[in-house]
Chain A
Amino acid sequence: MSRAPAPESPVVTTTARVLAPFVLTFALFTLFHGTSSVGGGFQGGVVAAAAVVTLAFAFGVEEAAGRLSPGRLLALVAAAPLVFAAIALAGVAYGGAFLQFDVLPVPKASVYATEAIELGIGATVGAVLVVLFVNLYDTEEAR
């Protein structure tokens, strides 16, 4: 396995490994609490991507990139536009305007619509940042 030339210090790898679950938990917290406290999709997605980036720096970008599933990453990239469009059009389907949430037939429709969109945004922002990171780290091998 060819690895990044940077030496893998056990301090760095252990720190990254121990921190990752906490960072990802904070990302989810930020995502889910967007409607009730500070945070939201953009911030949560970036924090989640930061966890992946930290691991990639610690273990080598190629090593980290090799563990990513292109299909799942692509699905995450597409999440926000799809969720956003679906909810926006659902408003139209229930007789409201494009992006009108309060006509949806669920209790507290605005809250749940907003949270669904925030989750989608988080998935897209996090995945896009990982895609940028992995692709800007150029590996000479053909893909």
Chain B
Amino acid sequence: MTADLLLGALLAFTLVTAVVTALARRLVTTLVAFAAYSLGLALVWLALRAPDVALTEAAVGAGVTTALFLLLVKRAAREDADAAAPVTARVRPASVAVAAVATAGLLATVPALPAVGDPAAPAFGPATEFYLADAAERGIDNAVTAVLVVYRGFDTFGEIAVVVTAAVAVLAVLGREVVA
């Protein structure tokens, strides 16, 4: 019961921060609200007992992404004095309608999801049981890490290549040859 209340409160918090993010007039306000939204989402993951995802969401979403956005807003403000000024355009009714329809469409799929921890959920199959048993046998206690590196190592290899590519792309676009 307490857990449900906590989850409900966290979801309400993320909802409010999401709306503030969309409606804020100043970019800096948007960024702060977006960071708060990420933090709320991280706490939701924690409440749903997914601490690995929560840590990533808090560090990447609430932390570093916000820092990068702030940097870019500051840079944009330096190059264009209007960029940091409050946005005067009003929220268009059509945008609200599209957002409402998309939200309703997504909410309509929620009843089709299996309950949290349902043993009949598709995620719990023979493969999952093998991963859990084999990871423990290999001495890796965190099954998330075991899946990422041992069983899905090829994917993770690709992912890290993407991370490196991000740095290469930024340097290439800016026409620089040294990293710092």
A-side interface residues toward B, CB under 8 Å? 30, 34-40, 42-43, 46-47, 49-50, 53, 57, 61, 65, 68-70, 73-74, 77-78, 80-81, 84-85, 88, 98-99, 101-102, 108, 110-111, 113-114, 117-118, 120-121, 124-125, 127-138, 143
A99 near B153: Cβ-Cβ < 8 Å: yes
The residues of B that contact A77 with a CB separation of less than 8 Å are 164, 167, 179
Residues of B within 8 A of A108 (CB): 138-139
B163 within 8 A of A: yes
Residues of A with C-beta under 8 A to B67: 50, 53, 57, 133
Asked if residues A135 and B141 are in contact (CB atoms below 8 Å), the reply is no
Q: Are B52 and A43 closer than 8 Å at their CB atoms?
A: yes
Name A114's contact: one of B51, B71, B145, B157 (CB within 8 Å).
B145
Interface pair A131/B180, CB less than 8 Å apart: yes
Q: A37-B142, A50-B67, A113-B149 are in contact. List 8 more A-B contacts (CB 8 A).
A: A39-B142, A69-B180, A81-B157, A124-B163, A125-B160, A128-B167, A131-B179, A136-B68
| Nearest CB on B from A135, distance (A) | 5
Say what secondary structure dominates the interface of chain A.
helix
- Whether B91 sits at the interface, judged by CB under 8 Å, is no
Contact indicator B167/A132 (Cβ below 8 Å): yes
Chain A residues whose CB sits within 8 angstroms of the CB of B170 once the complex forms: 131-132, 135-136
Residues of B within 8 A of A121 (CB): 156, 160
Hey, which chain B residues are within 8 Å of A135, CB to CB? Answer: 170-171, 174, 176, 179-180
The reply to whether A36 and B141 contact each other, CB–CB distance below 8 Å, is yes
Q: Contact check, A39 vs B179: say whether CB atoms are below 8 A apart.
A: no
A73 to B178, CA, bound (A): 10
**Chain B residues within an 8 Å CB radius of A46:** 56, 59-60, 63-64
A70-B180, A138-B75 known; A131+B171 contact, CB < 8 A: yes
Please state if B75 and A114 are interface contacts (CB–CB under 8 Å).
no
A-side contacts of B56, CB under 8 Å: 42-43, 46
